[in-house]
Amino acid sequence: MTMTTFLRLGRRLASAVALSALSALASAQRAPEVKARFDPGVVKLGSAAHLFVEVENAQTGDIPALPQVAGLRFGAIGPFGTSSYTEIVNGRISSRYSITWRIPVQPLEKGEFAVPPFTVRADGRDLTTRELRLRVVEDLKGEELGLLEIEAPKEIWQGQPFTVEIRLGFEAGINGRLNYYNLVLPWLDELGGLVELDGPPIPTGKSPGKIYLNSRHELEVESHGQRKVGESTFLLMRVRKRFVATRSGALTFPTSHFEFGRKQDGLTSMFNRGGDEFVYYKRSPPFDVLVKPVPEEGRPLDWSGAVGHIEASAIADRRDVVAGDSIKLTVEWTGEANLEFFDAPDPARLDAFRAFRVYGTQDRKTWDRRSVTYDLAPIDPAVTEIPGLPLTIFDTQSGRYDTVSTKPIPIRVRPLEGATGIAAATPSSGTTVDLRDIQTRGEGGGGLAARLAPSGRALAGLTVAIVAGWLALRGWVRRRGDPDAPRARARRRARRELERALRAAQSPAEQARAVHAFLAARTGETPEAWTGRDPVRWSHPHPEDAPKLEPSVAQALAQLFARLDAAIWGQGAGAQAGKVEDREVLALADRVAAGGL
């Protein structure tokens, strides 16, 4: 594995991790992240440079101390500047803050200086920068011998991938004397809101070799022919890098340099020649890329987060299946867009795919295409096509939200033989769903309900009658007293209580008490009122009044009292002998109650 391949894989992994993290945590508070860079990365002795330290996702911070580097003098750290921005990842939008220090740096001598990692404290966390390098040279000579052009779009949309093309070269006349090439891009990996993506590979046979990148890594370049400028001819190389801006606002790319010359430790894969050491410098001025926010107006709820210009196509591996069989539907989205980062549509959530089951998906991402294979199974033999799969995007060409859809794919779904579980309406193989047969006489039957049922008017009348009857009955009953009053309840309970008391009575005296309690409950008096009372006289105290009890009942009651008294006083209280039969007493009680007492 070459260094370049390793670096590319590492970057891809880092991008994926970074964007996955952005995606997963877009709505939550993300951890602060520090980035630092020199601007410019190559400085002439006597000129000043600046150290930029930026912490994303933080609102406060400080730099306790800067490392001591012999040959460099750092200025005062000073207060940080704050900026806020919106960030968009996979269609999720969140507000972010970042803080930035701009620290002046004065080189004291020439040489290549390595600034070791130092600590930055942000929102209570300690963060560490990467090692930084600053090259200080005696003279930035050789401007006329070199060429460095960096081409990038002036405006892009937030989330829209874009390509930065870097053309670098040197005068053809000095070609034979060079063995050292270094492209100094201080903004690479150190610019907040900018994430590098995989770019197009260099065509086979088009690369003359590798050069240094930021004095640290190797970078494969692509031959780009020659260019005549005035009297000079320049040999050109090209590097193309893809990025995506995750936040809106201006992205400022600081000064870049192309160093070329001859060194003892120069890269010799391109040219290998001996001689004195020298280095020339070609400078590219800083430039801005304006990142426009994706508009909120008209944003569909189902926006996938796709930004760019996208075309969709779909193919199915099978088009003649049995219901329930799997069809692999491969959908490809191509175009200049953030193909790696949008949420692929889920057919299981689309009405058009209701007659399908979705068993799974396989997602493949490359820089120029997004390919998702859906494992679908039609469950209804009535299905005649795989519907188009829509994807809602923000089209950077029109500047509006749009939907790109695949074309429907006609399919044939045969009924599943002997199946009942997948779809209720799925008939057996070779059969079809048809009408149920006509019904002939005798299958109907019934009709009793229609004959017995009252009419609607009768029901309405009955309802009124029930309510009226209830009110009347209630009023009539209440006129005779509240049926729920304690006395009325005791009166109703009296017979039951008598029976219970007689069953428990052990002597004539207890029987007498039970009878007195019964009569008291029926008359609303206390049981003591009946002790020694003559029922005949009580029932009919005045000859001119109607008796309270029938004379025969009153007489029987008097006889019962007499028998009980005789039993009590004649043989002693508590004795079992002399008790009156329970049923005899109860029969008399019933006569008393029936007599109106």
**Least distance in angstroms from the C-beta of 470 to another protein:** 4
**Least distance in angstroms from the C-beta of 437 to another protein:** 7
Could you identify the residue written with the tokens 């009709």? 447
Residue 131: other Cβ atoms inside 10 A: 11
The CB-side HSE value for 304 (13 A sphere, CA atoms) comes to: 26
CB 55 within 8 A of CB 120: yes
**Least distance in angstroms from the C-beta of 405 to another protein:** 23
Measured distance CA(109)–CA(250) in Å, rounded: 34
Residue 292 burial (10 A CB sphere; 0-12, 13-18, 19+) = middle
Measured distance CA(326)–CA(324) in Å, rounded: 7
* In 505-581, alpha helices (H): 508-523, 535-539, 551-571
Closer residue to another protein, CB minimum distance, 35 or 522: 522
**Least distance in angstroms from the C-beta of 323 to another protein:** 17
Closer residue to another protein, CB minimum distance, 315 or 467: 467
395 by DSSP, 3-state: which?
strand
**Least distance in angstroms from the C-beta of 384 to another protein:** 14
Closer residue to another protein, CB minimum distance, 216 or 441: 441
| Residue 339 to residues 84, 304, 487, Cα–Cα distance (Å) | 27, 11, 89
**Least distance in angstroms from the C-beta of 387 to another protein:** 17
Q: Interface residues with another protein (CB under 8 A)?
A: 433-441, 443-447, 449-459, 462-463, 465-467, 469-470, 473-474, 477, 482-484
**Least distance in angstroms from the C-beta of 494 to another protein:** 16
Closer residue to another protein, CB minimum distance, 167 or 491: 491
Measured distance CA(183)–CA(216) in Å, rounded: 10
CB 549 within 8 A of CB 595: yes
For the chain, give the longest Cα–Cα distance: 160
Closer residue to another protein, CB minimum distance, 359 or 470: 470
Look at strands 125-128 and 180-184 and give their pairing.
unpaired
Measured distance CA(174)–CA(141) in Å, rounded: 14
Closer residue to another protein, CB minimum distance, 421 or 444: 444
Could you identify the residue written with the tokens 């008097």? 558
Closer residue to another protein, CB minimum distance, 477 or 594: 477
**Least distance in angstroms from the C-beta of 540 to another protein:** 31
Closer residue to another protein, CB minimum distance, 1 or 438: 438
